[in-house]
Amino acid sequence: MTVLLNIDAVTKRFGAVMAVDRLSLDIYENEFFALLGASGSGKTTLLRMLAGFEMPEEGAIRLDGADVARVPPNKRPVNLMFQSYALFPHMTVEGNIAYGLEMERLGRGEIAARVGEIMEKTQLSALAKRKPDQLSGGQKQRVALARALVKRPRLLLLDEPLGALDKKLRAAMQLELKRLQHEVGITFIVVTHDQEEALVMADRIAILKDGRLVQVGSPHEVYEAPASRYAADFIGVTNFVEDGGRVLAIRPERIALFPEAADRKVEGRVVARAYHGLDLMLHVATAMSAQPLIVRVTAAGADRRPVAEGDMVTIGWNDADVRIFTD
Amino acid sequence: MLSQSLRARLLMAPALLWLTAFMVVPCLLILALGFFRRGIYGGVDYTFTFENFRLLADPLYLGIFLHSARVAGTATLIAVVVGYAAAYAIAGAPRRWQGMLLFLAVLPFWSNYLIRTYAWIVLLNREGLITQGLRMLGYEGEPPSMLYTEGAVIVGLVYNYLPFVILACYAPLSRLNPELAEASRDLGAGAFTTFRRVVLPQTLAGVAAGAVFVFVLSIGNFITPALLGGGKFQMVGNLVYAQFLTANDWPFGAALSMVLIAIMMVLLMAQAWGTAKGMGERNG
Ligand SMILES: Nc1ncnc2c1ncn2[C@@H]1O[C@H](COP(=O)(O)OP(=O)(O)O)[C@@H](O)[C@H]1O
Ligand SMILES: [Mg+2]
């Protein structure tokens, strides 16, 4: 794998706020990379530095080996899809998409061909003559994406690209984005605050907190082997149990209900049941922790042995499924 | 129950009544006046004639109209360029300063028009502040002649109407999403192309409103040409003024006024139509 982008000890302050704090990260060619973090963790600031709208105070940003930290946005082979989409309201869909190619002074024929091709790929052909105000949220999102993709950048940055869509459309677009990325062969960095979205879409995920990296790894790594208590809490649902200065972390799906064999067994009372369709979350109050432990039971399992609120149950897990943090 | 539209009409009635009584009726009276003869000793001789309107085509009066249009047009052009630049700078300033900067920009407006215009006489006079300033810098020669020139009239018009342009242009500029300009840069456009293709088209409504305002008020203005043009540069406004107050030819004055009003109406309607069309496009 070749490194496309090398972010080297980059720092950005806004007054007293450390928006990005000596952050280093390598992104590989053709990767679908997700930047995940709570609101205010510095995701947008990092993207804006990569696009050229903010200048890092310290550190280097190397694209294909060359430092671009001081190259203006219109001179970088990088495009940003804005969180607000930032479509030009006075131009048609077609006009919006062609704009970036007109800036490259390509011939009319080539512009028309490339605009047509990308509209085909993003299912916008029928909307070519519309203005942004005549589009739905999902359509606007696709225009913003097409407008950036048509430039064929080395690197495409997407700031919360699905943030404004409703849940069902989001799920469809997550797969759509991934399909498009494969098809065009462009490296994507997607910012999101939705951990599930990051898990579904990305080849690798970076978790950001207060402008610093908490963990970088594949979805499987960050989910199954979170590097810190913060990472474990941020990605998915985790039960934390204090255990003599240590913290045990265990995922709800790793706790068994009425286990036959388990390294650790504990009695508890069901204080709440939350039905999620595919599965059921039981909140079980035990003597082990102040918070009830969350246990995930499949719908099929729940049918076999129904439990109600107030029931006493036995739960258990294996030591191999527990992660131990000392912070 | 009153129907929705009837209630809306009733609510509008006082305003319409006011407009009819104090705008439409006087305008119609003036229009009617334009079709009568001038009495021998002033006053109006109520016999019907087209003479006044025929007179408008006389090269002398046509020339004054064209000259007025040129002066007003030049003032409009300068006011729009300067006003847009000022509005752009204000809209780009930190938010907490913008209110103050706007207030300062329109401050001269709160003083009397005549006083503001006289202030320019003090400045441009042969021995005025500008000449004195030059003398202090060691200038020995003849004082420059600035007052009573066409330039002085244009400066006076620009100065007086600039706040309108600043306000008209500031409104759309301050509403503009700054990410649009960033998106343009991101897609490869330089600063100038971004301005020409993204910023300007979205603020054109403000430019048009400001321009029509300056032009309409300038072409009918008679105070500034009289004071700063020294009577040498007769504009339509002065001509109308003279017909009513010195020449005592009310019918011809009325005909001249009608032409001015017609020019205003056409420009205002074109601007309103353009704005409505722009909005229609946006709302689909
Ligand atoms: N232009 C700015 N001026 C001042 N502070 C800013 C600016 N942009 C971001 N910040 C601050 O920097 C931090 C990171 O912000 P941001 O990058 O927008 O986070 P995220 O996108 O992860 O929500 C926040 O504390 C935010 O308040
Ligand atoms: Mg953000």
d(CA A194, CA A163): 9
d(CA B186, CA B193): 12
> Given a cut of 60, is residue B128 above it in pLDDT?
yes
> Given a cut of 90, is residue A36 above it in pLDDT?
yes
B188 → closest Cβ in A82, A89, A104: A104
Collect all residues of chain A within an 8 Å Cβ-Cβ radius of residue B281: 131
The CA A8 to ligand 2 mean position distance, Å, reads: 21
Collect all residues of chain A within an 8 Å Cβ-Cβ radius of residue B172: none
For B37-70, what is each residue's pLDDT tens digit?
888 777 788 888 888 888 888 999 999 999 999 9
d(CA B116, CA B108): 8
User: Which ligand minimizes its atom distance to the CA of A206?
Assistant: 1
Confidence of residue B232 (pLDDT cuts 50, 70, 90): confident
Tell me which of B186, B202, B204 to substitute to probe the interface with A (most A C-beta atoms closer than 10 Å). Answer: B186
Which residue is closest in CA terms to ligand 1's atom 8?
A45
CB A158 within 8 A of CB A217: no
* Chain B contact for A131 (CB, 8 A cutoff): yes
Cβ distance of A86 and B183 shorter than 8 Å: yes
Cβ distance of B179 and A82 shorter than 8 Å: yes
Q: How far is B101 from chain A (nearest CA, A)?
A: 25
Report domain A239-325's class.
mainly beta
Give the chain A residue whose CA is nearest to the CA of B177. A86
> Given a cut of 80, is residue B176 above it in pLDDT?
yes
Q: How far is B3 from chain A (nearest CA, A)?
A: 32
Confidence of residue B1 (pLDDT cuts 50, 70, 90): low
Q: How far is B210 from chain A (nearest CA, A)?
A: 21
Which residues place a Cβ less than 5 A from the ion ligand 2? A 44
Q: Kindly report, as residue ranges, where domains of CATH 3.40.50.300 are found in chain A.
A: 3-229
In this structure, the number of other CB atoms found within 10 A of the CB of residue A296 comes to: 20
Nearest to B187, CA basis, from A148, A91, A160: A148
What architecture is domain A3-229? 3-Layer(aba) Sandwich (3.40)
Average pLDDT, chain A: 93
Residue B282 burial by Cβ neighbours in a 10 Å radius (0-12, 13-18, 19+): middle
Whether the complex's predicted ipTM surpasses the cut of 0.90: no
Q: Amino acid identity of B269?
A: M
Domains of chain B: 29-37+45-283 (1.10.3720.10)
For A106-151, what is each residue's pLDDT tens digit?
999 999 999 999 999 999 999 999 999 999 999 999 999 999 999 9
Cβ distance of A86 and B179 shorter than 8 Å: yes
> Residue A132: CB within 6 Å of ligand 1?
no
CB A258 within 8 A of CB A284: no
Confidence of residue B279 (pLDDT cuts 50, 70, 90): low
> Given a cut of 60, is residue A208 above it in pLDDT?
yes
In this structure, the number of other CB atoms found within 10 A of the CB of residue B137 comes to: 7
Q: What are the start-end ranges of the H helices in A135-282?
A: 137-149, 167-184, 195-201, 219-224, 229-234
- Phi, psi of B45, deg, nearest 5: -100, 115
* Cα-based torsion angle of the residue sequence B8, B14, B15, B18 in order, rounded to the nearest 10 degrees: 150
Q: What is the dihedral sign for C-alpha A269, A270, A272, A276? A: positive
CB A34 within 8 A of CB A217: no
For A47-101, what is each residue's pLDDT tens digit?
999 999 999 999 999 999 999 999 999 999 999 999 999 999 999 999 999 999 9
Q: Kindly report, as residue ranges, where domains of CATH 2.40.50.140 are found in chain A.
A: 239-325
* Chain B contact for A88 (CB, 8 A cutoff): yes
* Chain B contact for A99 (CB, 8 A cutoff): yes
